[in-house]
Structure 1
Amino acid sequence: MKTVEWRGKPVWILRRTPDMLASLKKTDAQVADAKSERNPAEFTPEYCMNEYRSIKPEYLVAIGICTHLGCSPSTKFAPGPQSSLPDDWQGGFLCPCHGSTFDLAGRVFKNKPAPDNLPVPRHMYMGEGKLVIGKDEKGEA
C-alpha cells in the first residue's frame, strides 16, 4: 500500500491481489453500505459505486481517515483471527481508537461507530501507471 497526501489528508492506494478481491464477496452481507449508496456525493464518486469501490478492481484509492472521529485506521490485511478482530476476518482496516472495521474496499462493517465507508476521492487514470487524485472527467474536486 502506498500513502500520498491530498489536501492535507492521507490517500491510500492499495493494489489488491486476486485473493483480496475474492474476499469482498465474503464481506458483502457484513458491511453497512455494500453498494456505497449512502451519501454518494460526499463519500463515493458515481464511477466507484460498485463492489470494489474503484475504477480498476485491483486498485483501491481511499482517504485513510475514519468517518467516525477522524482517526487513521491501521492496515490489517492478513485474514484470520487477530486481536480486536472477528475470527472470520477477511482482511481490511481497523480503527484502533473506537473499533470501527473496514473491508478491503473501505466499506464499514455493520454496528460500528463509523457511520460511513472510507471516502473515495475523485480520481482518474492518465495512461498506464499514472493516477491523478482530486480530478476526474468532470473537473477538479
Structure 2
Amino acid sequence: MERQVKGEFEVKRSPQGACDLGDGAAAGHIRFDKHFNGPLDATSVVHMLAVGTEVEGSAAYVAIERIAGSLDGRSGAFFMQHNGTLDRGTPSLSLTVVPDSGTGELRGLSGRMAIDIVDGRHFYTFSYELGSD
C-alpha cells in the first residue's frame, strides 16, 4: 500500500571542484547536506553534477543522495537518484528510491519524492511503499 508523507527540510550547499568532461567541458559539482523534518526525520548527503548549455534556460543535473534516519518511525538508510532538466525554462525533476537500497527497517523501500521551494523554504512530498524482500 502506497503511503505519502510531507514535511520540510533545510539544505546547506557546498561547491566542489568542477568535473572534467573532456574537450574543455566541465560539470559543476556541488555537495548538499540536508536535514529533513516531519515523518521523514533524517539527514542526507547529496552529490550533484550539473551542466548548462548555450541556450538560455536549458540545463540538466544528476545526483545521488544517501538519506539516513527514520521514516514513519522506522529506522534505516536508502539512496535516492535525482534527474533534473530545464528545457528552455521549463523544469522537470524525478527523484526515485534506488531499488534494493533500503537498510534496517527500511529494507524493501520504493518510492518517489517531489520537492517544492516556496519563499525560500524547501518542502518534500514522499510517496513510498515498504515491501518485503
Q: TM-score, normalised by structure 2?
A: 0.30
Q: By percentage of residues, which structure has more helix? A: 1
Q: By percentage of residues, which structure has more strand? A: 2
Work out which of the two has the higher radius of gyration on C-alpha atoms and give 1 or 2: 2
Q: Which has the higher contact order (CA 8 A, sep 6+)?
A: 1
